[in-house]
């Protein structure tokens, strides 16, 4: 007989396939691209910052119109050159040489050179929100105007991947912009300093009202095939106007009224209504968010691994994710940090650890040291992705015979309490799922910067391979091994991925179905 776990894993793969099919209505090119017009986007973020390096809150769909990095991500979240034509690593693994794409021009008309790359890297290390992730680089030099060499203190296989991260990205500014800014962050009104190499330039910004981008006619197209952020970037519309509309319902109404051509991150409940209207279409984009549970392994009853394993063995991942909404809006995925589509992902590695077996869970509770202590399940109501599964998880804990209660607090209190390891036993958690391999180290660290008790020498040994090894096959196996270590320790339980809804007017063409919208590839019929 097929196990419940195997059926669940088959089910979520079917759901992923059905979501991709639903997206075909948006992704279909529908004829030859047309040039001209203004694309107006109702955006979910307030867009208070456009300084890509200085803030991880700067939205990727927006800054990629203007700024470009040396390296970007393809559809499998692997590193691909953008401003860099190619790269190579020395035999000792300590020197990475990047050949820059020639003929690239900044929006001010000046050619991009290695001096701009070095100046931008130095700025990243001064003000970058993610600068600590580049700490292995010891120096950077330019043998000529089209070549940059980064030297590291040890072999670092994840260097190109780290360069490709869209959040807090290493983008290239003109050297004169870097000099003008000094150690200051770029303000939202500093339009004259927002000079990049992207397919559109900043034409106007009215804070809290609109951002306007115009086609950059001197843009030099990247080589290769379109995949994720990689490859050529279509410049079909003349202007792109971003309207920050932070209220979900208001974005949907603006789309119905024809005030915007695209509305991002709508409610799953809006899909049927938008598709019933002849003037609008809606579908699910690939997921960019995860939801999971974290158990307190430092203090309290969950220091006993048998009790943690009881929860993991008994939890029904499908039941927990059903609370997220229509089945097209989610999929089960217990793979730590990463999701289907990434090159190292493998569902079969973890299937055996999640049998949804309540009786086996109760046996493990009986074998554990648990003696009726209160188990506080910390949650917050302002994050729907995290609060929705709470009733199912609470019921599971109680069905296992645990003295569990839900502890719901506001966001500020949650942030404080989660640092107090004497204040909770299990908590909700969530975050982005489009992350590089190097981000795995965050899984092993608590909010006070200390390693979780279940993270041992083997974890760190695998993490070193992931970060340093120059052989991707070795790195992939290390990722799978870290997932096994995590599942055996049962310190955290990853529930699944969440798809987001994008709605468009019926005359909008070629909205990509990837995690992010490539706004520069869209055209209007």
- pLDDT of 189 over the 80 cut: yes
- 338 band by pLDDT with thresholds 50, 70 and 90: low
Q: Give me the pLDDT at residue 130, please.
A: 83
In a domain, residue 495? The reply is: yes
Selection from 219-228, 287-296, 361-370 with the highest mean pLDDT: 361-370
Among 372, 350, 228, 374, residue whose Cα is nearest residue 292: 350
In a domain, residue 119? The reply is: no
In a domain, residue 329? The reply is: yes
> What count of residues does the chain have?
525
Q: Give me the pLDDT at residue 285, please.
A: 80
Mean pLDDT of the chain: 88
CATH number of the domain bearing residue 328? 3.10.105.10
In a domain, residue 490? The reply is: yes
Dmax over CA atoms of the chain, in Å, equals 72
Please indicate whether residue 514 or residue 507 has the higher confidence score (pLDDT).
Answer: 507
Selection from 112-121, 332-341, 455-464 with the highest mean pLDDT: 112-121
pLDDT in tens, 108-158: 999 999 999 999 999 999 999 888 889 889 999 999 999 999 999 999 988
In a domain, residue 201? The reply is: no
Residue with tokens 């599971």: 396
Q: Give me the pLDDT at residue 368, please.
A: 98
In a domain, residue 47? The reply is: no
In a domain, residue 107? The reply is: no
Angle at 241 between CA 432 and CA 283, to 5 degrees: 50
Instruction: Indicate the number of domains in the chain.
Output: 1
Distance separating alpha carbons of residues 124 and 127, to the nearest angstrom = 6
Domain that holds residue 394: 4-16+286-500
Provide the terminal-to-terminal Cα distance of the chain, rounded to the nearest Å: 52
């Amino acid at each position: 007989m097929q196990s419940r776990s195997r059926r669940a894993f088959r089910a979520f793969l079917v759901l992923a396939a059905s979501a991709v099919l639903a997206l075909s209505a948006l992704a279909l090119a529908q004829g030859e691209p047309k040039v001209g017009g203004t694309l107006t986007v109702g955006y979910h973020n307030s867009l208070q910052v456009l300084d890509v390096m200085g803030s991880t809150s700067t939205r990727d769909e927006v800054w990629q119109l203007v700024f470009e990095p040396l390296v970007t991500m393809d559809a499998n979240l692997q590193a691909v050159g953008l401003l860099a034509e190619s790269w190579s690593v020395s035999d000792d693994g300590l020197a990475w040489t990047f050949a820059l794409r020639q003929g690239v021009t900044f929006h001010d008309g000046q050619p991009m050179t290695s001096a701009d790359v070095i100046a931008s890297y130095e700025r990243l290390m001064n003000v970058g929100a993610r600068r600590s992730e580049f700490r292995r680089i010891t120096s950077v030099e330019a043998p000529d105007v089209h070549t940059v060499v980064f030297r590291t203190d040890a072999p670092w296989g994840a260097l190109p991947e780290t360069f490709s991260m869209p959040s807090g990205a290493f983008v290239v500014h003109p050297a004169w912009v870097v000099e003008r800014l000094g150690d200051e962050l770029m303000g939202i009104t500093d339009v004259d300093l927002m000079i990049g190499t992207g397919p559109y330039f900043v034409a106007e910004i009215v804070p809290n009202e609109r951002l306007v981008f115009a086609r950059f006619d001197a843009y030099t197209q990247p080589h290769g095939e379109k995949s994720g952020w990689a490859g050529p970037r279509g410049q079909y519309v003349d202007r792109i106007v971003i309207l920050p509309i932070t209220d979900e319902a208001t974005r949907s109404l603006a789309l119905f009224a024809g005030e915007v051509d695209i509305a991002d991150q709508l409610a799953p409940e809006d899909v049927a209504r938008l598709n019933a209207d002849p003037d609008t279409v809606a579908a699910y984009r690939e997921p960019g968010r995860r939801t999971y549970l974290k158990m307190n392994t430092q203090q309290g009853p969950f220091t006993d691994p048998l009790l943690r394993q009881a929860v993991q063995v008994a939890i029904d991942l499908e039941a927990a994710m059903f609370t997220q909404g229509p089945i097209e809006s989610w999929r089960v995925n217990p793979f730590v940090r990463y999701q289907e589509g990434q090159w190292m992902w493998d569902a079969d590695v973890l299937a055996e650890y999640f049998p949804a077996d309540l009786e086996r869970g109760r046996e493990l509770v009986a074998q554990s040291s648990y003696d009726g202590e209160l188990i506080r399940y910390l949650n917050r109501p302002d994050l729907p992705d995290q609060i929705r599964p709470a009733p199912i998880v609470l019921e599971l804990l109680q069905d296992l015979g645990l003295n569990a209660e839900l502890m719901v607090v506001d966001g500020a209190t949650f942030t404080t309490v989660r640092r107090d390891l004497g204040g909770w036993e299990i908590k909700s958690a969530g975050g982005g799922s489009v992350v590089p391999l190097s981000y795995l180290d965050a899984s092993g660290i608590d909010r006070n910067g200390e390693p979780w008790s279940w993270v041992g020498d083997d974890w760190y040994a695998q993490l070193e391979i992931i970060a340093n090894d120059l052989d991707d096959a070795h790195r992939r196996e290390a990722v799978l091994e870290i997932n096994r270590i995590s599942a055996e320790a049962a310190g955290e339980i990853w529930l699944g991925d969440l798809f987001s809804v994008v709605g468009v007017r019926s005359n909008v063409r070629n909205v990509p179905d990837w995690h992010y919208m490539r706004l520069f590839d869209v055209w209007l019929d």
